[in-house]
Structure 1
Amino acid sequence: MKKLLIVSLGIIVFILLSLPWVLILVGRNKLHDYDIPQREQLIPSSDSKKKVLALFPHPDDEVTVAGTLMRLKEDGHEVVLVCLTRGEKGKSSGIQDEQELARLRTSEMEESARLIGVDQLIISDYPDSGIEDLGMDSLKKVVLNLILEKQPDILISYDSNVGLYGHPDHRLTGKAIEKVFLKEKGKEGFSPDRLFQVTLCKKQVEVALKLSSGFQRNYPENPEMGLPQPDFSVRTQPYFDRILQVMQAHQTQQNVLKDLMPFHDKVPAWIYSRIFDREYFREVK
């Protein structure tokens, strides 16, 4: 009887210890395409030190590549983070005063940049949800001037098809950078020779369309108009605790960020970090 009790207890302990790892395995299979190569870093360690310009329209957009930027800094690369607007239209927190919201989101962006460890943060004053009003020609000039001023080797931004989940500011920013890069690459005085766009694999898009209200509202119905297929992913699990801190820095946008990483505040971090353990990229060539 005593032996049977010990065996039973052992089985129960084994099941309890195994359950989190089963959850991790199931989560990974639901969210990741294992045919897409995974890298330890965006830039091979054999490369010389580079200057990276990450350009996005809103405070909190950098969350999508925070782990990759942290790894770049750890490897000794220089990172310049650019935010085109102050996010005054992001009223999910209930704050209606746009001037106050812009002030708060600027402060949040500054804290996020500190947590990531970027070398320079640039926040411009273009209108939130008004990038389209600038016109593509003007937006391309803004992008080109930033590139000529900062002379980066590598660019990071959104894709030009969707802008991750369909926000017009995202898509237009990604399109402007892509157009400038493809037109100017190789010309004298134009320093970048690589452009990486943050994207998602097909499985992630399928899950996002079930769980994320932002994706449900804005993502194109035609699959051919959807996100570009990733070329690779970058492993970010070691930086997950700091990524959570970056997300928490954007206090006015917590409802929006729950769309990006659902249930992150309910699942233990050591489990969640092993499911959401990579960031996907497409390289523009």
Structure 2
Amino acid sequence: MRKFLIVSLGIILMIFLLAPWALIQYGRGKLHDLSIPQRDFLLAQSTSKKVLAIFPHPDDEVTVSGTILGLKELGHEVKLICLTRGEKGKSSGIEDEIQLARQRTLEMQNAAAILGVDSLILLDYPDSGLSGIGLDSLKKIVKQLISEIKPHVLLSYDSKVGLYGHSDHRLTGLAVQEVFLENKGTLDFTPSEMYQVTLCKNQIDVALQLSSGFQRNYPENPADGLPQPDFSVVTQPYFKTVLKVMKAHESQQKVLQDLMPFHDRIPSWIYSRIFDREYFAEVK
């Protein structure tokens, strides 16, 4: 009888210990494409480089926050630009756009401090109104910023969708991409690499089930969708800090819940091993 109890307890303990790891492996298989190459960091450790991340809104940097934290750990210099103050992002219920712009500015400054970026530049172009500026003017703005900062690497949204269909996202990605491709290798143009945030197919499928933003805006034709990732970057070691960055954007928690669904209902040590990478496409 005693031997039976010991064996039974041993089996129960094994199930208890192995079940979370089985859940992690299942979640990874459902959420990720494990055939896509994986890197520990976006850039190699050998030579310090200057990275310029250009996004339209405060909180867009959350999509690459794990990657930025890894870059900073290796000693790379990271500068972050937001083209707008996010005054149209009224999911918090704040209707006054001046008040919301001020709050989102403070939130972005707090998030940038948590990330440890070397500088944050907040501009005042109209939120959800970059199409009114026009692509040519937006490219001039981007090129001037690049000329002033002189980065080696550019980081932004993709030019086809803008992650989930927001016009400001797509136009920002398109402007940065066209400036890069038109000027790469020319005198005084310093960037030699550009990477765009993207998702693997499994992530897109999950987002279309859970995210209202994806459901409203994502193209129905797969050919018009996000670019295929070239690689992913490991972000699991930075998960707790990524959550702090996300939570710094207090006014946008309803929107950001789509980025990490159920993160507040699953233990972090499990969740961080499922949502453990960020995907990128290289612009060539």
Instruction: State the TM-score, normalized to the length of structure 1.
Output: 0.98
Q: CA RMSD in A?
A: 0.7
1:245 aligns with 2:241: no
Question: Which residue is 1:194 aligned to?
Answer: 193
Question: Which residue is 2:6 aligned to?
Answer: 6
Question: Which residue is 1:147 aligned to?
Answer: 146
Q: What are the residue-to-residue correspondences of 1:221-232 with 2, within 5 Å?
A: 221-232=220-231
Q: CA deviation at 1:89?
A: 0.5
Q: Give structure 2 stretches of 5+ with no counterpart.
A: none
1:22 aligns with 2:56: no
Q: CA deviation at 1:2?
A: 2.1
Q: Work out the CA distance in 1 between the residues paired with 2:13 and 2:98.
A: 55
Per-residue CA shift, 1:200-253, capped at 9, x if unaligned?
Answer: 011110111111111101100010000000000010110000000001101111
Question: Which residue is 2:275 aligned to?
Answer: 276
Q: What are the residue-to-residue correspondences of 1:80-159 with 2, within 5 Å?
A: 80-159=79-158
- Secondary structure of the 2:13 match is helix
1:205 aligns with 2:204: yes
Structure 2 counterpart of 1:192, one-letter code: P
- Secondary structure of the 1:84 match is strand
Structure 1 stretches (4+) deviating beyond 4 angstroms? none
Q: What are the residue-to-residue correspondences of 1:30-41 with 2, within 5 Å?
A: 30-41=30-41
Q: Give structure 1 stretches of 5+ with no counterpart.
A: none
Q: CA deviation at 1:9?
A: 1.8
Q: Work out the CA distance in 2 between the residues paired with 1:102 and 1:265.
A: 27
1:254 aligns with 2:278: no
Q: Work out the CA distance in 2 between the residues paired with 1:162 and 1:13.
A: 47
Q: CA deviation at 1:10?
A: 1.8
Q: CA deviation at 1:194?
A: 0.5
Q: CA deviation at 1:265?
A: 1.1
- Tell me the number of residue pairs that the alignment of Structure 1 and Structure 2 aligns: 284
1:57 aligns with 2:56: yes
Structure 2 counterpart of 1:88, one-letter code: E
Q: CA deviation at 1:7?
A: 1.7
> Structure 1 vs Structure 2: percent identity of aligned residues?
68
- Secondary structure of the 2:44 match is coil
- Secondary structure of the 1:125 match is strand
Q: What are the residue-to-residue correspondences of 1:214-225 with 2, within 5 Å?
A: 214-225=213-224
Q: CA deviation at 1:15?
A: 1.1
- Secondary structure of the 1:259 match is coil
Q: CA deviation at 1:18?
A: 1.4
- Secondary structure of the 1:94 match is coil
Q: Work out the CA distance in 1 between the residues paired with 2:253 and 2:56.
A: 18
Question: Which residue is 1:174 aligned to?
Answer: 173
Q: CA deviation at 1:34?
A: 1.4
Structure 1 counterpart of 2:76, one-letter code: H
Q: Work out the CA distance in 2 between the residues paired with 1:200 and 1:256.
A: 18
Q: Work out the CA distance in 2 between the residues paired with 1:35 and 1:83.
A: 33
Q: Work out the CA distance in 2 between the residues paired with 1:34 and 1:22.
A: 16
Q: Work out the CA distance in 2 between the residues paired with 1:3 and 1:113.
A: 58
Per-residue CA shift, 1:17-36, capped at 9, x if unaligned?
Answer: 21111110000000111111
Structure 2 counterpart of 1:45, one-letter code: Q
Question: Which residue is 1:73 aligned to?
Answer: 72
Q: CA deviation at 1:13?
A: 1.7
